[in-house]
Amino acid sequence: MGTDKNPTRVTMRAKVGRPRHLQEHARSNRVVKFVTDRELESLEQIADKEDRSLSAVVYRILTQHLNNTGTSENEE
């Protein structure tokens, strides 16, 4: 075993990952929806065009619809 020159030294690790959100804003509920091949292709084309993930595109479409119908508290 080697000897440590500074045994009281504490190594701090940099925080990694996304910052925590307030509990009221955390997306913790899963919604599963099956789509046709054509619908998936359309969503993928939108994602490619917007340079976003498929998940981000679906979330944007969902929140826009909810905001347009006045049924969402989400203001993103």
pLDDT, tens digit, for every residue of 6-50? 667 777 777 787 777 677 777 888 999 999 999 999 999 999 999
Give the C-alpha separation, 18 to 56, whole Å. Answer: 15
Q: How far is CA 3 from the centre of its chain?
A: 45
Q: Which has more confidence, 14 or 72? A: 14
Q: Tell me, what's the pLDDT at 76? A: 46
- Gyration radius (Cα) of the chain, Å: 22
This model's pTM is above 0.75: no
* Maximum separation of any 2 CA atoms in the chain, in Å: 67
Q: Tell me, what's the pLDDT at 63? A: 93
